Amino acid sequence: MAQPQTQRDIAQTDVKEPSTVSSHSHSVELKHHEEFWFHDGNIVLITGDTGYRVYQGLLSSQSTVFQDMFSSSIARHDELYEGFPIVRLSDSPQDLAHFLRVLLPKSQRHLYRLQDGSPFSFDQIFAITRLAHKYGVEDLQKQALYILQEYHFTNDFDRFDDPSRFAVDHVVQVRNIQAIGVVNLARLTDTPTMLPIALYRCCGLGGKLLDGWRREDGEVEHLSTDDIKRCLDAREKLAQEAFTLIDHVFSLSRAEKCRSHYSCILKRYTILRRAVRSKSVGSWAVLDSWKDFIQTEVEKSKVSEEDPGLCPACAKELVKRDLEERRTLWNRLPDIFGIVVQGWATQDG
Ligand SMILES: [Zn+2]
């Protein structure tokens, strides 16, 4: 399968070996990074024209990739800055800063995250995941992915359908365009459970799907061609599913405990007609709940003499069917996107 690539990935190899071009007394113009230039640091990381004077022991102890790079650089002694070994990296300065803020925290120490803690930006989580993967810091990669899975890209329908999860904006917000980044992280880290909802949200992008998502460092993240095809094909399937779902939810049979048979049949017919005319039908967003729509229709009937009412039993039945039908669709999401996700959808449906 084609792997997603960024312009930077295409232009540069993964981690550059230390340069072999210069002498022992090499002098380079460097901007000292304002957060990560420690006067007693013992190694200089360089990305672009920015230098980070940091502590090799601290980084080596957290990443065997850094450990190998530092050993190689020191052994070769081929490039120095003010007497300290240099290691050149291909990461953007923004990404590297996000990563170092976690590995060498100066102000973001966390023993326990308080409810009023400052939120993460998606760029921050994206950069930390990618670099933790690249430099082999597994526990950090796991934590960053957990944040995305717990709050947005879950494999649990009940979690997805719980409106209270939107009250967690203090943790991280993810716009639909950034779901492109989430798909690519799922591919990079082999975390397929994030894919169904990440691809589903990409279906809402329309033509922007091809433009890609511009990261804070200016690089543009694109889906692989295979994943773009998946979204385009699924968008059509999801729109068809919307019609089936609405038929199943609003079909005209009454609830078992219905108290007003004729008016409920009439009301259900009216609701069905309104639902079919609503913009949600034929849209890709089939997992959106009809609960508010149903409740609005019930409320309308209470204030209109011409609008027949729906009894509480029938209203409850519609809400129940809405939940069941969307759960069934949720269970089929991997099929709709043509992917296999182990452990997806263990609920009945
Ligand atoms: Zn009824």
Q: Are residues 200 and 250 in the same domain?
A: no
Q: Are residues 83 and 167 in the same domain?
A: no
- What separation in Å is there between the alpha carbon of 306 and the centre of ligand 1? 17
Q: What is the per-residue pLDDT for 20?
A: 33
Q: Are residues 212 and 253 in the same domain?
A: no
Which residues, by Cβ under 5 Å, contact ligand 1, an ion? 258, 264, 311, 314
Q: Are residues 176 and 133 in the same domain?
A: yes
Q: Are residues 264 and 299 in the same domain?
A: yes
pLDDT digits (tens, 9 = 90+) for 62-105: 999 999 999 988 777 677 888 899 999 999 999 999 999 999 98
Final residue in a domain of this structure, among 89, 113, 147: 89
Task: Report yes or no: 193 and 155 within 8 Å, Cβ to Cβ.
Answer: yes
- What separation in Å is there between the alpha carbon of 292 and the centre of ligand 1? 18
- What separation in Å is there between the alpha carbon of 255 and the centre of ligand 1? 6
Is 302 a domain residue? yes
- What separation in Å is there between the alpha carbon of 295 and the centre of ligand 1? 14
- Report the alpha-carbon angle 146-284-224, nearest 5: 60
Please report which residue ranges of 278-311 form alpha helices under DSSP H: 291-303
Domain that holds residue 145: 122-232
Confidence label for 21 from pLDDT (cuts 50, 70 and 90): very low
Query: What number is the average pLDDT over the span 25-31?
Result: 66
Q: Are residues 139 and 223 in the same domain?
A: yes
**Based on the structure, what is the number of domains in the chain?**
3
pLDDT digits (tens, 9 = 90+) for 224-260: 999 999 999 999 999 899 888 988 888 877 778 887 7
Final residue in a domain of this structure, among 232, 250, 278: 232
Is 190 a domain residue? yes
Task: Give the relative orientation of helices 138-151 and 179-189 as an angle to the nearest 10 degrees.
Answer: 140
Query: What number is the average pLDDT over the span 280-306?
Result: 79
Q: Are residues 136 and 204 in the same domain?
A: yes
- Report helix, strand or coil for 209: helix
